[in-house]
């Protein structure tokens, strides 16, 4: 089936550094999401993105977070600067048009460890 | 505001039996969509089944089916003839139809262990 690719699968960085998580959504999908999961528990919504704009962001999407998808390339989540509490697995997802009935297609996640 | 609650943290069942996982939700919208996803041990998250709020019939998909009780805001997932490979974490999720942001809210997940 359709695949969402996330690069890298693991990232270890020192607190205060910048990190960029990359997501290659399903081809022709227009709606993109980032979710944060800590210790295999709840999938917490961070942000969704459509047509070059953030549509909604949660309280977890701090000022240090930003997303973009320049020229149809990777959909990225940037954290600058990172904090210890940013350690988690970050999942990217996409859907064709963002219609309410559509399912989300998830990547395999990027495990971020902030030291 | 949307909210999805899964009270069962972990369930263990014997292989080939039937298991039901509970989920209740909160929404102000009259129209919404309910989803179940499965997260395997490798971390992969896959879609299993969907229930549309305006449909009275319970959705079915292979050995997955749903018990949709709209007055109780409940959407249970039923897995019949469980197999070892059904062992995973199961997430209930909801998206409001009228929302203009398409946020999908997830529950905390239920870990299912299928024993031989």
Number of Cβ atoms within 10 Å of the Cβ of B60 = 12
Determine how β-strand B60-61 pairs with β-strand A5-7: unpaired
Region B84-91: mean pLDDT is 97
Residue B47: pLDDT above 70?
yes
Comparing CB atoms, the residue among A31, A42, A100 nearest residue B106 is A42
B109/A31 touch (CB, cutoff 8 Å), yes or no: no
Please report residues of A whose CB lies closer than 8 A to that of B32: 100
Number of Cβ atoms within 10 Å of the Cβ of B71 = 5
Region B52-70: mean pLDDT is 96
Please report residues of B whose CB lies closer than 8 A to that of A56: 101-103
Comparing CB atoms, the residue among B97, B106, B108 nearest residue A100 is B97
Q: How far apart are CA B74 and CA B84, in angstroms?
A: 27
Please report residues of B whose CB lies closer than 8 A to that of A31: 102
Comparing CB atoms, the residue among B39, B52, B106 nearest residue A101 is B52
Q: What is the percentage of chain B residues whose pLDDT exceeds 70? A: 97
Q: DSSP 3-state assignment of B92?
A: strand
Region B39-63: mean pLDDT is 94
Closest-CA distance, A29 to chain B, in angstroms, reads 14
The pLDDT assigned to B99 comes to 66
Region B37-66: mean pLDDT is 95
Q: Which two tokens stand for residue B41?
A: 């041990």
Region B64-74: mean pLDDT is 97
Q: What is the mean pLDDT of chain B?
A: 94
The pLDDT assigned to A101 comes to 86
The pLDDT assigned to B79 comes to 98
Closest-CA distance, B81 to chain A, in angstroms, reads 25
Q: How far apart are CA A70 and CA A32, in angstroms?
A: 13
A55/B107 touch (CB, cutoff 8 Å), yes or no: no
Please report residues of B whose CB lies closer than 8 A to that of A106: 37, 44-46
Any CB–CB contact under 8 A between B109 and chain A? yes
Q: How far apart are CA B89 and CA B38, in angstroms?
A: 6
Any CB–CB contact under 8 A between A40 and chain B? yes
Q: How far apart are CA B10 and CA B89, in angstroms?
A: 9
For chains A and B, count residue pairs whose Cβ atoms are closer than 8 Å.
64
Please report residues of B whose CB lies closer than 8 A to that of A91: 45
Region B56-64: mean pLDDT is 96
Q: What is the percentage of chain B residues whose pLDDT exceeds 90? A: 87
How confident is the prediction along chain A (115 residues), in pLDDT tens digits per residue? 778 999 999 999 999 999 999 999 999 999 999 999 997 788 999 999 999 999 999 999 999 999 999 877 899 999 999 999 999 999 999 999 888 889 999 999 999 999 9
Closest-CA distance, A79 to chain B, in angstroms, reads 21
Point out which residues pair with A54 in neighbouring strands: A49
Q: How far apart are CA A30 and CA A34, in angstroms?
A: 14
């Amino acid at each position: 089936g359709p695949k969402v690719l996330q690069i890298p699968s693991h990232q270890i960085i020192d607190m205060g550094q910048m990190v960029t998580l990359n997501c290659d959504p399903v081809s022709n999908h227009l709606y993109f999401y980032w979710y944060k999961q800590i210790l295999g528990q709840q999938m917490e919504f961070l942000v969704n993105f459509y047509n070059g704009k953030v549509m909604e962001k949660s309280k977890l999407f701090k000022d240090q977070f930003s997303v973009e998808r320049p020229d149809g390339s990777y959909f990225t989540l940037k954290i600058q600067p990172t904090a210890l509490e940013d350690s988690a697995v970050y999942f990217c997802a996409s859907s064709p048009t963002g219609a309410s009935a559509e399912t989300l297609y998830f990547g395999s996640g990027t495990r971020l460890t902030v030291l | 505001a949307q909210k999805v609650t899964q009270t069962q943290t972990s369930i263990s069942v014997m292989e080939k039996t039937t298991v039901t996982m509970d989920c209740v939700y909160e929404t102000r919208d009259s129209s919404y969509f309910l989803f179940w996803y499965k997260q395997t041990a490798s971390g992969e998250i896959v879609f299993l089944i969907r229930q549309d709020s305006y449909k009275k019939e319970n959705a079915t998909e292979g050995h997955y089916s749903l018990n949709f009780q709209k007055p109780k805001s409940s959407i249970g997932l039923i897995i019949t003839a469980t197999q070892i490979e059904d062992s995973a974490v199961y997430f209930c999720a909801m998206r409001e139809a009228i929302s203009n942001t398409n946020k999908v809210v997830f529950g905390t997940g239920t870990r299912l262990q299928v024993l031989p």
